Amino acid sequence: MAPVNEVVVKMGWEALADCQCGCGRSHRAISGGVVRGDAQTAFMAILAEHPDPEGSKIWFALGSGPWWPDVDDRECFVNVATWLADGGFRSRVSEPEDSLWQGHELLADAQIRVLTRDEVLDFEPGASWVFATIDAIMSEFEPCRSFLLGG
């Protein structure tokens, strides 16, 4: 058995996703799982070569269980954009309507709740979990690293 604190990031599917913004592009989309001990987080990522003042971006949708199971038992997803700035990775929790995942069929399920930026940032340990998960993906998962770093 792997040590509990070891983080493993696994590859899932890979596909081409038609851009939801209407620009006519298709982006490479991949999925994976971040495994920490017994806990697994599913994620999906659009690797977007897209006109953007901040350059190429990865648009993540992180899946987790319900955040407020007493009042809403839907699976919660968080949108995060990650890009390269000053030689390092920078990430921001994005509003659902600003994400390239907006309108995508994979998040249109009635059993999915896509969280707003305030819902994520106002809720601990949710916000810390989001950034720790993105850090794990960007340090351990080659397809995302090399997309932003090149090579």
* Per-residue interface string for the shown chain with Zn ion, residues 20-59, x marking contact by CB under 5 A: -x-x------------------------------------
| 144-to-40, 69, 150 alpha-carbon distances in Å | 18, 31, 10
Cβ atoms 93, 121 nearer than 8 A: yes
CB closer to Zn ion, 27 vs 113 = 27
Residue 55 three-state SS: coil
**Binding residue count for Zn ion, defined by CB under 5 A:** 3
Separation CA 149–CA 76 (nearest Å): 30
Is 19 a binding residue for Zn ion by CB under 5 A? The answer is: yes
Is 18 a binding residue for Zn ion by CB under 5 A? The answer is: no
Residue 44 three-state SS: strand
Task: Output the smallest distance, CB 102 to Zn ion, in A.
Answer: 11
Residues engaged in binding Zn ion (CB under 5 A): 19, 21, 23
